[in-house]
Structure 1
Amino acid sequence: MVEILCLESILLQRQNDDVFQMLNLVEIPEA
Protein backbone atom coordinates (compact mmCIF):
# COMPACT_ATOMS: atom_id res chain seq x y z
CA MET A 1 0.00 0.00 0.00
CA VAL A 2 2.71 2.47 0.96
CA GLU A 3 4.77 1.57 -2.10
CA ILE A 4 1.79 2.28 -4.37
CA LEU A 5 1.29 5.70 -2.75
CA CYS A 6 4.98 6.49 -3.26
CA LEU A 7 4.78 5.51 -6.92
CA GLU A 8 1.65 7.61 -7.40
CA SER A 9 3.21 10.65 -5.75
CA ILE A 10 6.31 10.29 -7.95
CA LEU A 11 4.16 10.00 -11.09
CA LEU A 12 2.09 13.02 -10.02
CA GLN A 13 5.22 15.05 -9.36
CA ARG A 14 6.64 14.15 -12.79
CA GLN A 15 3.32 15.12 -14.37
CA ASN A 16 3.37 18.46 -12.54
CA ASP A 17 6.96 19.06 -13.68
CA ASP A 18 5.96 18.41 -17.31
CA VAL A 19 3.01 20.79 -17.04
CA PHE A 20 5.15 23.43 -15.33
CA GLN A 21 7.79 23.20 -18.09
CA MET A 22 5.08 23.56 -20.75
CA LEU A 23 3.66 26.61 -18.97
CA ASN A 24 7.15 28.12 -18.76
CA LEU A 25 7.69 27.57 -22.50
CA VAL A 26 4.36 29.27 -23.19
CA GLU A 27 4.96 32.20 -20.84
CA ILE A 28 8.56 33.02 -21.83
CA PRO A 29 7.64 34.93 -25.07
CA GLU A 30 5.19 37.13 -23.12
CA ALA A 31 7.77 38.23 -20.54
Structure 2
Amino acid sequence: EPVARAVVALLSDWFPATTGSMIHVDGGYHAIGA
Protein backbone atom coordinates (compact mmCIF):
# COMPACT_ATOMS: atom_id res chain seq x y z
CA GLU A 1 0.00 0.00 0.00
CA PRO A 2 2.78 2.57 0.70
CA VAL A 3 4.22 1.98 -2.77
CA ALA A 4 0.82 2.42 -4.38
CA ARG A 5 0.29 5.69 -2.49
CA ALA A 6 3.67 7.00 -3.61
CA VAL A 7 2.91 6.10 -7.23
CA VAL A 8 -0.48 7.80 -7.08
CA ALA A 9 1.07 10.90 -5.52
CA LEU A 10 3.85 11.12 -8.11
CA LEU A 11 1.42 10.67 -11.01
CA SER A 12 -0.98 13.27 -9.65
CA ASP A 13 -0.79 17.05 -9.74
CA TRP A 14 0.55 17.11 -6.16
CA PHE A 15 4.16 17.06 -7.39
CA PRO A 16 4.16 19.07 -10.63
CA ALA A 17 7.88 19.85 -10.62
CA THR A 18 9.24 16.41 -9.73
CA THR A 19 11.26 15.36 -12.76
CA GLY A 20 14.47 13.40 -12.91
CA SER A 21 14.42 12.69 -9.18
CA MET A 22 15.00 9.36 -7.51
CA ILE A 23 12.26 8.69 -4.98
CA HIS A 24 12.96 5.87 -2.52
CA VAL A 25 9.82 3.98 -1.55
CA ASP A 26 11.17 1.27 0.70
CA GLY A 27 9.51 1.75 4.07
CA GLY A 28 12.38 3.87 5.42
CA TYR A 29 15.10 1.32 4.71
CA HIS A 30 17.11 3.84 2.68
CA ALA A 31 16.62 6.66 5.21
CA ILE A 32 18.20 4.73 8.10
CA GLY A 33 21.23 3.80 6.00
CA ALA A 34 20.85 0.06 6.38
**Alignment TM-score, normalising by the size of structure 2:** 0.38
Q: Which structure: greater helix fraction?
A: 1
Bigger relative CO (Cα 8 Å, ≥ 6 apart): 2
Q: From the CA coordinates, give the structure whose radius of gyration is larger.
A: 1
